[in-house]
Amino acid sequence: MIRIDISKVKIRIEMLGGFTIISDDKRVTEQIKRSSKTWKLLQYLITHRHKSVSQEELIDVFCEGDQLSNPGSALRTMVYRARAALSDSGLPCADEMIIAKSGGYSWNNAVRCDVDVEEFEALCNKAGADVAEEERIELLLRASKLYRGDFLPNSAGEMWVMPIARWYRFMYTDCAHNVLELLIRHGRSIEAEELCAKAMSIDPFDEKTLEYRLRSLLVQGKNMEALEEYKRMETMFYDVMGVNFSDNLRELYSHIQRPAIREEITLERVLKEWLEDADFPGAYYCDLSEFKTMVQIESRSVPRSGRTAYIVRFDTKHEPGEKGSEAMKQLGMAIPGTLRMGDLFTRSSPGQYMLMLHSLTFEDCRTLINRIMHKIDAKYLPKIISTSIMPVIPTE
């Protein structure tokens, strides 16, 4: 049997988005049927591969709470199984990759290893503020590409994994924000849009990444796409987290709605474009700040026009959790199809919708509320959803 020189063996280890060991055409993954503790021991030794890990430390991590009569023997069995898992996979020199050393065990660094987390961290650290912007962009893009997902996601519940995973997630978020800012500044908005899609798949509730995504769309002139994305994410934030967007996002929303005019154009063209942008069936949905502005305008026009206007509120905020979320979802489907073209509505909070209705009496408003309520599953009425009506009072 020909013995392979371990110093000539080279492997790649991936720990971001999953655990894999690769050597030439051999791949070792957690999908191979072995005890989860076998993989976690391998992961721990690789993560701490630049030191010898004492037997006591490994027992504390992997045998605590097991009520073992001989934890040392149990640890030796785990090490044996880990070596067997590597050997069975066909990796060269597999039986030499874990070595006993100074009353403990360590990963054998005589094996040349490329480890994605180490590469990722090195690239992030190299891309400091003293690096030229073009080079910094390329370094951060390479780092971002390496981050395929969180650190050891299948071991995310392990106490030793949690702080490391948080740290790498923080590094990735900082990396993504920095490179997105640079990409947009350098006119590489298409790349920025693509990177935002990846970053939001990792953390869909990072408002800063959403802001960059909207900015990248805005720069490309994709205002309608940006508007749809804003409203989709606003609904998701309401439904899942029960929070409103930050002031920065709301300010950006106003820019999306008012694209800059870069050339002189005729009044006819302006009106045509505005009307085309507003060509939506049913009532008009707007965000809370726009709704507030429209109410203020209406309050000034009521004395001159002589028409009436009422604000109607649908409220589920006293019913948190799944029932409240489902009630809001059903309201969101029932309201637009019931209102008229000239009416306005907004989601004013995670558990509340507000409507502005024109040229109706108080009783007409009650009739419209009943129509909306009849479209909602009866089990959400009447305890979960409350309603109220208030006339738009003219300003003095």
State whether 213 and 162 are in the same domain. yes
Which of 68, 94, 115 marks a domain boundary? 115
Q: What are 186's two structure tokens?
A: 């350098």
Residue after which a domain boundary falls, among 115, 146, 172 = 115
Rg of the chain over Cα atoms, rounded to whole angstroms, equals 30
Phi, psi at 145, each rounded to 5°: -65, -35
Please check whether residues 189 and 150 belong to one and the same domain.
yes
Task: Return the CATH number at 214.
Answer: 1.25.40.10
Q: Output the domain CATH number for residue 36.
A: 1.10.10.10
The pTM score is 0.71
Residues facing 140 on adjacent strands:
none
How far apart, in whole angstroms, are the C-alpha atoms of residue 345 and residue 336? 8
In a domain, 270, yes or no: no
Report if residue 355 sits inside a domain: yes
d(CA 172, CA 150): 9
Are 253 and 313 found together in one domain?
A: no
* 3-state SS assignment for residue 358: strand
Q: Is residue 353 part of a domain?
A: yes
What does the alpha-carbon distance between residue 321 and residue 319 come to, in Å, rounded to a whole number? Answer: 7
What is the rounded distance in angstroms from the CA atom of residue 306 to the CA atom of residue 308? 7
396 residues of the chain, pLDDT tens digit each: 456 677 778 899 999 999 999 988 788 887 665 668 888 999 999 999 998 899 999 988 887 666 667 888 888 888 988 888 888 888 888 888 999 887 899 999 888 899 999 999 999 999 987 889 999 999 999 999 999 999 999 998 899 999 999 999 999 999 999 999 999 999 999 999 999 999 999 998 899 999 999 999 988 888 888 888 888 888 777 776 666 777 788 788 777 776 544 445 566 665 565 555 555 556 788 878 788 888 888 887 766 666 788 999 998 866 556 777 788 888 888 888 888 877 899 888 878 899 998 888 899 999 999 999 888 876 655 567 888 998 887 544
Rounded to whole angstroms, the Cα distance separating 394 from 396 reads 6
Q: What torsion, rounded to 10 degrees, do the Cα atoms 46, 58, 167, 49 define?
A: -20
332 and 224 in a single domain? The answer is no
Same domain, 77 and 122: no
Domain containing 234: what range?
117-257
